[in-house]
Amino acid sequence: VANAEPCFGACDLALKEAEMLNAGLIVHFGHSDFRVKSKKSVIYWPVEARFDEARVAEKIAEICRERNWFRTGLGTTIQYLPAMKKMEKLLAEKEIKAYSVQVLGCNYTAVKKLESKVDGFLFLGDGLFHALGMQFAVGKKVLALNPQTLTVKELNSEKDSYYGQRISQISIAKQARTFAILVSTKPGQFNITLALKAKQLIESSGRKAFLFYANFLKAEFFAGLQFDCFVNTACPRIAIDDSSQFAKPVLNFKELEIALGKRRLEEFK
Ligand code: SF4
């Protein structure tokens, strides 16, 4: 039985559905194991993005030579990872030492570990979400390269505009009196401990907080409700990519702490 709902990552395992359908096995396509506990057996089935590796290696070499990056970190999503070992070999022939690692929208540990070894980073993939996350995670420059179109994007202006947008949301939230705390029931996103901590923090500052749960948290579910601010405890992408769909600011937990004066703005990353 195929699940027809959208799926955002291996954090989004269809455990409840598998239970209801009495399935013996879950086959999860396109993402790697996120260490979500499951009573059912799970197979993580890779889905590889295909691209012209020789052309992309040539483009990477061109970018690296222009910048004197002879040791380069390549961050990519799981769909592009299988081709990366081949890419490392092709780049070695062009005298570029490349290290490829996987990035998740909520975990950039692998690129952070690489930082001391490389001169700069490239993100290989589509969209700017992961590339921007990489740029916030490391001090060295990150460029985004789309392996299909070979377009290259600098992230400076995106970083500034994203930072400005978050600061603006935090300062609006400072005046908020009522907060809706969002909890996702997706197995790898469910964090009721953090949600209760947020509730306690808000109430201890003399404001009101209410918890809401849903599997897929969408702005339209909250359209008629009068809250001054939303606090996201699920996938960080909700506050980053979807916040413009909400009528009021959407903060992640650390941003809430800043808005309530429990953390310094300088600590914002
Ligand atoms: S960024 Fe969001 S969708 Fe991706 S793995 Fe993390 S929680 Fe899941």
Helix (H) or strand (E) holding 173: helix 156-173
Ligand 1 centroid from CA 106, angstroms: 6
Which tens digits make up the pLDDT trace of 57-109?
Answer: 999 999 999 999 999 999 999 999 989 989 999 999 999 999 999 999 999 99
Ligand 1 centroid from CA 92, angstroms: 32
pTM of the predicted protein model: 0.91
Ligand 1 centroid from CA 98, angstroms: 26
According to the model, what pLDDT value does residue 75 have?
A: 97
Give residue 269's pLDDT band: very low, low, confident or very high (50, 70, 90). low
Which tens digits make up the pLDDT trace of 46-71?
Answer: 899 999 999 999 999 999 999 999 99
Say how many C-beta atoms besides its own lie within 10 A of residue 220's C-beta: 8
pLDDT of 267 over the 90 cut? no
Of 141, 85, 147, 105, the C-alpha closest to 11 is 105
Of 173, 187, 186, 178, the C-alpha closest to 252 is 173
- pLDDT averaged over the chain? 95
Residues 6+ apart with CB under 8 A from 82: 46, 48
According to the model, what pLDDT value does residue 32 have?
A: 92
Ligand 1 pocket residue status of 36, Cβ below 6 Å: no
Residue among 7, 34, 237 whose CB has most ligand 1 atoms within 8 A, to mutate: 237
One-letter amino acid at 191 equals: N
According to the model, what pLDDT value does residue 73 have?
A: 98
Measured CA to CA, the distance from residue 197 to residue 17 in angstroms comes to: 29
Ligand 1 pocket residue status of 104, Cβ below 6 Å: yes
Rounded to an integer, the average pLDDT of 112-122 is: 97
Ligand 1 centroid from CA 49, angstroms: 19
Ligand 1 pocket residue status of 7, Cβ below 6 Å: no
Which tens digits make up the pLDDT trace of 230-240?
Answer: 999 999 999 98
